[in-house]
Amino acid sequence: MTAEEASGTASVARRVTDALQPRNLLLAGMLAVGAFAAGHWTGLLWGLLGALCAGVVPAAYIEWERDRGRWGDRHVVDRTKRAPIFFVILGSIGTGSALMVLGGAPTGILLAMLALWVMTVGLLAVNTVWKISVDSAVASSVVTLLACVHSAWWLLGYGVTAAVCWSRVALRYHTPAQTLAGAGLGAATAVAYLVG
């Protein structure tokens, strides 16, 4: 591969990873999960709360820390600096879930939040010894949750997960094994939705 081709590949990968970052996928995915779980438009509000707690608040925390000079960008490529992010995610999802319980949210959106919380615990545990891909885990989890709550046709969305995995490897943020492990963890925790 020539330097020009490598540069072009990196540029495409950067656009893919930015467009399909966890915040964006959770915003779209949780809105849909909320609507499908509730069976009517009010579920969109619960989905929005879920997206805010699982995706937007953690992304805002990362940006805040980045502005303070703690991290170079949203990717936080140094595994040893990721633990605070996971704790913010766990606290935010926990707070959102408590609000949902108090507000009488549909069981489906609560189960989705639980799946995301368990996934984050898994990511935190693995991250203590190995750099697993959070972006791949979220992409896989969102697709699997949509397939569980609505229709197996959503599994076609794994094309999005594959694009996320490819972009993370192309940008050298992760190895193929790290993205596959993330995708596997995201799917496994989301499938637990069916047990609930």
DSSP result, the chain: --HHHHHHHHHHHHHHHHHT-HHHHHHHHHHHHHHHHHSSTHHHHHHHHHHIIIIIHHHHHHHHHHHTTS-SSTT---GGG-HHHHHHHHHHHHHHHHHHHHHT--HHHHHHHHHHHHHHHHHHHHHTTS---HHHHHHHHHHHHHHHHT-GGGGGGHHHHHHHHHHHHHTTSS-HHHHHHHHHHHHHHHHHHHH-
Task: Provide the residue count of the chain.
Answer: 196
* Residue pLDDT, tens place only, 84-133: 999 999 999 999 999 999 999 999 999 999 999 999 999 999 999 999 99
pLDDT confidence bin for 75, thresholds 50/70/90: confident
71 pLDDT higher than 90: no
Mean pLDDT of the chain: 92
pLDDT attached to residue 4: 55
The residue-averaged pLDDT of 50-72 equals 91
The residue-averaged pLDDT of 4-11 equals 76
How far is it, in rounded angstroms, from Cα 138 to Cα 74? 15
pTM (predicted TM-score): 0.93
How far is it, in rounded angstroms, from Cα 193 to Cα 196? 5
120 contacts: CB under 8 Å, gap ≥ 6? 86, 89, 90, 93
CA-derived radius of gyration, the chain:
16
